Amino acid sequence: MTAEGGTLTGRAEEYFEGVRRGEPAQKALTAAGRCFEHGRRDVPKVALTFDDGPDPVFTRQVLEILDRYGARATFFCVGHHVAALPDEVRRIVAGGHGLGNHSWSHPFLFDLTPGQLREQIDRTTEELDRVAGTAPAWFRPPYGALSPEVLAVLAEHPATLTMWGRGRPRLVAAGARADRQDRPGGVGPGSVVLMHEGAGDRGQTVAALPAIVEGLLARGLEPVALDELAPPPRTGPEGA
């Protein structure tokens, strides 16, 4: 493995082929309101999202910056980090921010059976509900890894698949370099911006965040939690 590639070192071809094969199924989920990629383009709001936390250092630094500007965001949490750092999760909620589900252990979803994938989501939802009193309906797949097999499970699961801007998923590697690709250049009304505050040294993200928020505000774009940008999540494959 390498620090940049993490557990996906040497598997980029497999990843991109799986994503390519999954595109029709993802489009079908989007059309059915089960996959969210962006909000209305005529409303001057942008959803800031942070993945891979909570983190004992960087989550708090991100929260302090957001509070300074009165900005809101959504934090897609990894379940075992939630169990280890419950106070950080409660701090997120107390700051008026939203929570999302980013799996229990951040696996490469292609490697899981359907039952294991459901367990990754459900166990994290249960832990967030226990710690923070909220069971988020949003699920973001680690690495943005979506194959037809993964999407078939998600189509039957009550969680709403939540992606981010720039169209089709990219291979998002662990480590500090990834966020240099995720800064919101060229975002507009309704965009969902992906950043990270866990699973590595996120000092670059923390250092860049004030300029990111100031840039959005200067363009008249309000940073909000996902719930303010998105329609209410459907609770099942039939919207029941």
Active-site amino acid positions? 51, 196
Place of tokens 């989920």: 29
Q: Is 133 exposed, middle or buried (0-12, 13-18, 19+ CB in 10 A)?
A: exposed
Tell me how far apart the alpha carbons of residues 240 and 235 are, in angstroms, rounded to a whole number.
6
Q: Cβ neighbours of residue 120 under 8 Å, at least 6 residues apart?
A: 79, 103, 104, 105, 107, 109, 112
Angle at which helix 148-155 crosses helix 12-31, to 10 degrees, equals 30
Q: What is the DSSP letter of 190?
A: T
Tell me how far apart the alpha carbons of residues 36 and 166 are, in angstroms, rounded to a whole number.
13
Q: What share of the chain is helix, strand, coil (3-state, %, to 5)?
A: 45, 15, 40
Q: Two tokens at 52?
A: 């891979």
Q: Two tokens at 6?
A: 């993490």
Note whether 149 and 108 are within 8 A (CB).
no
